[in-house]
Structures are given as structure tokens and as C-alpha cells.
Amino acid sequence: EAGVVQSPRYKIIEKKQPVAFWCNPISGHNTLYWYLQNLGQGPELLIRYENEEAVDDSQLPKDRFSAERLKGVDSTLKIQPAELGDSAVYLCASSPTRSPYNEQFFGPGTRLTVL
């Protein structure tokens, strides 16, 4: 079974430029999450989707961040414009609707560097 796929793995951009990250969850997983992980810290939730609906986006900085999950499968996270402080790893995770633990399966992340 394929895991969560993310691309790109690495991205370097100049500040004020836009950037987008893509995530393909595990097949059949209805719930999708985007996390932000700063260096030396644990991941923090940005947004959670149930199918195509964003059910928790309370921690998404909506002035510059946006996300979408059209058709309830793939998802894209966008930053426009990027700031120096956005340099971090952006993790995507998915979980099945029914599972014993509702554990989340993570992708390898996208490491963003803003210069």
C-alpha cells in the first residue's frame, strides 16, 4: 500500500514569492491534515479536512495561507506571499474514517526555505 505522497520534498524561494505544496493521501483515507513543523519542535496542526470540507482551520493564518481539497482526495497548501518565518517543514497526514486508533499516517514532508 502506497503511503502519503508529498511534493516537492524541498523548496527554496525568495520572500514575498508564492509557493504551493501538494499532498496525495493514502487511498480510502477521508481525513487529511496539514501540519507545520518548526526546527526542533513537534508538528502543529494547520488544517484538517473531512473529505472536501475543512472542519478545523482555526490555526491556519488565513491572511497568507490557503488550502483546498477538491474532490476530497488530493490537497494543496499555498502560501502567498511567503515570509522568512515560514521556513519550516510542512507535513501532510491522513487517517481512515474507521480504525482502532484513528492513527495518522504522515508523508515525508516538504522542507521550505524562504530567503
Partner 1 sequence: AQKITQTQPGMFVQEKEAVTLDCTYDTSDPSYGLFWYKQPSSGEMIFLIYQGSYDQQNATEGRYSLNFQKARKSANLVISASQLGDSAMYFCAMRGGMEYGNKLVFGAGTILRVKS
Find cell 522568512 and name the residue: 84
Instruction: Point out which residues bind partner 1 (CB under 8 A).
Output: 3, 31, 40-45, 48, 55-56, 89, 91, 93, 95, 100-109, 111
Q: The C-alpha cell of 83 is what? A: 515570509
Q: Which of 112, 27, 22, 29 is nearest to 67 (CA)?
A: 22
CB of 18 to partner 1, least distance (A): 23
Find cell 508538528 and name the residue: 43
| Residue 7 or 81 having the CB closest to partner 1 | 7
Q: Which of 83, 107, 105, 90 is nearest to 10 (CA)?
A: 90
| Residue 79 or 91 having the CB closest to partner 1 | 91
| Residue 83 or 103 having the CB closest to partner 1 | 103
Note whether 93 and 104 are within 8 A (CB): yes
| Residue 14 or 27 having the CB closest to partner 1 | 27
CB of 76 to partner 1, least distance (A): 20
CB of 33 to partner 1, least distance (A): 8
CB of 15 to partner 1, least distance (A): 23
Q: Which of 26, 23, 37 is nearest to 70 (CA)?
A: 23
